[in-house]
Chain A
Amino acid sequence: MCLAVPMEVKHIEGEVADVEIGGVRKQIRLDLIEDKPAVGEFVIIHAGFAIRILNREEALETLKIFQEGWNLDLI
């Protein structure tokens, strides 16, 4: 039940968004996030609500740190 998955935003109307991943389309609510996502962005969905917009730069940043000689103080 705790599965929270990233899905791509396809369409937004008020607090409701259509999202899609791998051909599966769903309607979800945006009540729980402050800034509304843009179409094309990914949101993390849990139990029918978006709980966060996925931050792609951060993902790349983390990978980079680990690759380039990381240490505890960097993280």
Chain B
Amino acid sequence: MTSSDPLRDPARCKELLAQIEESVKGSTLRFMEVCGTHTVALFRSGVHSLLPKSVVHLTGPGCPVCVTHESEVAAYLELAGKEGVIIATFGDLMRVPGPGGASLKKAHAEGARVEVVYSPFDALAIARDNPGDKVVFLGIGFETTTPTVAATVRIARQEGLKNFLVMPFHKLVPPALDALLSDPDMAVEGFMLPGHVSAIIGMEPYRPLAERYRIPAVVAGFEPVDLLQAILLMAEMKRQGKPKVINNYKRVVADEGNPKARAIVAEVYKPVDALWRGIGTIPLSGLGFTDAYRAYDAFEVLGVELKASKPLPGCRCGEVLKGIMRPDECPLFGKACTPAQPVGPCMVSTEGSCAAYFKYQIDLNSDR
């Protein structure tokens, strides 16, 4: 089902749209998506602009680059340019602004050794080729990315590679949903749950959404039909007052997730409190190294610490990430802040809400 037609079939989409309209009649559906790829898919597919006005889409904290805290950004920028350190990173972090306009891109231009990799595994080759240096991989990302980093650390250990280190900035989705829901300002009536995070963690961690918070939630794929089916399911559950957690992306998500990937993560990492941009500390929402793997912890080996760091002046990413503010409501949006000249991380990453709004120029004058 790579891009197979049934999942993009216009007639089917039209039918689903009509069903959604019928289901939300006289009511609303304020749904939040917590995956940057969903943000982009909703816009790019045109689904966002076709939805009835009463269906309101909120983007949540689902962009890993965006939720990386300013203190974490300051910490890796402090390492860039240090003697004997090579930073290996996903490309998305290159332009994320840090204190005083610093960024990895700028550090690189000024001589720091920074390598962009597609996979954490590629960073091992850099470590092998530079035995006299420490290669520090910036471990950002949610549950989908974490296993790839953990597996890489395990391979490094099997190989006896000692100059490969990780800054564990990993974040966990369910504790963040919990934190969001404990905010009384949150008026979310449905969750579109991340497809590939769920492929790892499975359905179990989401049960409280329906049972405790009574909010309908659907794991969704990324094709237009996937997105519309998920919205229809949320709308129907709300209408019927039957909140459930539904897996509607079974071709990729097994209900039990991927136990092998989780076991590898559990061998290398343990849950720790973590900082989220705009939200602050969320208990047990991140991962730190287990004792057995401490030798791979860049913080410990290189003596780096997370220090208090000021939020970026004027940037409202924090509120955008919580779904409280729409990107175009930020006073800097499209003016001082554009993808070419980003003020905050939500405008940097292609999965960032601000970047998506800017790129697709969505409904800027409408009231949704």
Contacts and interface: CB of A to CB of B under 8 A. Distances in A.
B365 interface: no
Contact of A29 (B121, B140, B141): B121
B244 interface: yes
Interface stretch (B52-60, B102-110, B185-193, B256-264): B256-264
A62 B248 contact: yes
Given A46-B144, A62-B248, A2 B36 contact: yes
- Assign chain B's interface to a size class: 35 or more
Contacts of A3: 37
A24 interface: no
B212 interface: no
Given A33-B258, A62-B248, A72-B233, A48 B145 contact: no
B1 A48 contact: no
Interface stretch (B24-32, B234-242, B304-312): B234-242
A62 B141 CA distance: 29
B120 A48 contact: yes
B366 interface: no
Given A1-B351, A48-B148, A61 B260 contact: no
Interface of A: 1-4, 6, 21, 28-29, 31-34, 42, 44, 46-49, 51-52, 54-56, 58-59, 61-63, 66, 72, 75
The 7 residue pairs across chains A and B that have the minimum distance between CB atoms: A48-B119, A59-B251, A58-B250, A59-B1, A47-B148, A4-B196, A1-B90
